[in-house]
Amino acid sequence: MWSWIIVAGMMILSMNACGNSRPLPTAEDKSTHVVLQAAGSNSSIQRLRMQAERGNVEAQFALAQAYDRGRDVPKDKTEAVRWYRLAATQGDAFAQNALGDNYWEGTGVPKDDTQAARWWRLAAAQGFAPAQHSLGKILSGGGQGVRTDKTQAYMWLALSAAQGDEEASRQGNLLSKQLKPAEVTNAKKLVQQWKPTRARVTINRIAQ
């Protein structure tokens, strides 16, 4: 357990040194911000849709959230997935994570664990903690058609734990007991060497 805490602590220090210590806003924060920016016209949803259709990634994500939760539009999981996918293909970590969740749950799309892992991996690579947690779980042996890799699973859980995810820390502790000492050593090296890819998670103001 102590080795796990040390690894997580080292990651926090490393992330601070790289200027990545400030946590990303939540999906709720992001979609609310975009909706508020879109407000002020006669119809915020129509305005949001117009911006989304023009390719604004934040508007696409916010519109997906609206359909996902039934905010000012009828709840439509299939339509939500469509907009999540458009934002995800532009590199948005929030949308990539949400799309992974939908594939995992079979919501709005047929259940597909390999697709879930694919989209979680893209978001995890940007440093998105929820995706790192989910990817760590599925790589530890929880996904149909997904190759188990407990060393990689440990790494992703450690990275999520370093951002304050207590459940990822607990699962990482349990997983470490299943690994050989050499595997744990290798996993720790992977954690220390890991760097996020260029993220597209900024919240931009929707054009007037």
What residues are paired with 184 via a beta bridge?
A: none
Residue 202 lies in a domain: no
Q: Which domain holds residue 44?
A: 27-193
Residue 156 lies in a domain: yes
Residue 88 lies in a domain: yes
| Burial of 28 (C-beta count, 10 Å sphere; 0-12/13-18/19+) | exposed
Residue 2 lies in a domain: no
Residue 68 lies in a domain: yes
Task: Give the pLDDT confidence score for residue 199 in this predicted structure.
Answer: 56
Question: pTM of the predicted model, to two decimals?
Answer: 0.79
Task: Give the pLDDT confidence score for residue 200 in this predicted structure.
Answer: 52
Give the sign of the dihedral formed by CA 15, CA 19, CA 23, CA 26: negative
Contact 89, 123 (CB under 8 A): no
Residue 7 lies in a domain: no
Tens of pLDDT along the chain (208 residues) come to: 434 433 444 443 344 333 333 345 555 555 544 544 444 333 789 999 999 999 999 999 999 999 999 999 999 999 999 999 999 999 999 999 999 999 999 999 999 999 999 999 999 999 999 999 999 999 999 889 999 999 999 999 999 999 999 999 999 999 999 999 999 999 999 999 999 987 554 434 333 3
Task: Give the pLDDT confidence score for residue 198 in this predicted structure.
Answer: 72
Task: Give the pLDDT confidence score for residue 108 in this predicted structure.
Answer: 98
CATH number of domain containing 39: 1.25.40.10
Residue 200 lies in a domain: no
Number of domains in the chain: 1
Residue 76 lies in a domain: yes
